[in-house]
Amino acid sequence: MKHVFRTKLVAVLALLVTILTSVASWAAAPKRDFYQLVIYRLKTAEQESRLDNYLQNAYMPALHRAGIEKVGVFKPIIAPDAAEPAEKLVYVFIPFKSQDEWAKLEGKLSADKTYLEDGKDYIDTPWDKPVYTRMESILMRAFVDQPHFQMPALSSPKSERVYEFRSYEGPSEKLYVNKVDMFNAGGEVKLFKRLNFNAVFYSEVISGAAMPNLIYMTTFENKADRDAHWKAFSADPEWKTLSAMPKYQHNVSKNDTRFLRPTDYSDI
């Protein structure tokens, strides 16, 4: 009887230790940023000018007052000999400390009288003179291995920098999770860091138009610097080993890569 009691007691204690270890691990895990990426689609130079004015003089100052210190605003890099694109794009990256902070932002903006006045042209735009054609909002959560966004350590002028935006779409939810695991447990984030890719963020997309997918952004001094970094990455023995592992095969169905440049008024 005593032997049975001891056996049950040991089992209960072992279970208790497991639970306490899990709780401690969860409590010790760093909180992860919550990101919003807004993509504006524009047709005219006038729309672009009005949107720039709104972002620089109304929206970003309001976000700063709301406690969001850094906001990124980016535009596609157009080659000097390329034709003017039919559609203009503007990317706005907003890092939040939590999903709750994101959820409360709209209420803070609606109560900010300075924002409502400074952003009047955008907020109260006439129906027949819109500031943009369409806008897309993507919600994301930071990766475990880079739980917070990072300011890039670059010294070149903003007009020369290259910010590389990549979206990796998975053929299924399970394979998408596998690619996220490749970045975290597989060591891809650590490899990018070792090779000084200056990543602003890595993220799991929670809501967006291309799910299931992950999005990340790396940064470089200029185009030559970007090409040199990727050449080193492709030749790195660690990447060759990781990319050849059977468990990480066929986990990306589409790679959408875009080259962006920060605006003069971007914080990031």
Q: Is the model's pLDDT at 28 over the cut of 90?
A: no
CA 243 to chain centre: 23
Q: Give the per-residue pLDDT at 152.
A: 96
Residue located via tokens 């966004």: 149
Residue 217, helix vs strand vs coil: strand
217: closest CA among 145, 149, 122?
Answer: 149
Q: What is the DSSP string of 3-72?
A: HHHHHHHHHHHHHHHHHHHHHHHHHHSPPPPEEEEEEEEE-SHHHHHHHHHHIIIIIHHHHHHTT----E
Q: Is the model's pLDDT at 17 over the cut of 80?
A: no
> d(Cα 116, Cα 171) in Å, to the nearest integer?
43
Per the model's pLDDT, the better-predicted residue between 84 and 52 turns out to be 52
Q: Give the per-residue pLDDT at 22.
A: 38
Q: What percent of the chain has pLDDT over 70?
A: 89
Q: Is the model's pLDDT at 16 over the cut of 70?
A: no
Domain extents in the chain: 1-30, 34-262
User: 96 in the Ramachandran plot: left (φ > 0), alpha (ψ -120 to 50) or beta?
Assistant: beta
- pLDDT tens figures, 225-264: 999 999 999 999 999 999 999 999 999 999 999 999 999 9
> d(Cα 45, Cα 59) in Å, to the nearest integer?
20
Taking the CA atoms of 25, 28, 30 and 32 in sequence, report the sign of the dihedral they define. positive
- pLDDT tens figures, 73-121: 999 999 877 777 889 999 999 999 999 999 999 999 999 999 999 999 9
Residue 141, helix vs strand vs coil: strand
- pLDDT tens figures, 159-199: 999 999 999 999 999 999 999 999 999 999 999 999 999 99
Q: Give the per-residue pLDDT at 80.
A: 78
Burial track 28-63 (b if 16+ CB lie within 10 A, e otherwise)? eeeebbbbbbbbbebeeeebbebbbbbbeebbbbbb
Q: Give the per-residue pLDDT at 8.
A: 53
0.75 surpassed by pTM: yes
Q: Is the peptide bond before 246 cis (omega within 30 degrees of 0)?
A: no
Q: Under CATH, which architecture does the 34-262 domain have?
A: 2-Layer Sandwich (3.30)
Q: In residues, how long is the chain?
A: 268
Q: Give the per-residue pLDDT at 29.
A: 57
Looking at residues 147-156, what average pLDDT do you find?
97
Q: Give the per-residue pLDDT at 82.
A: 75
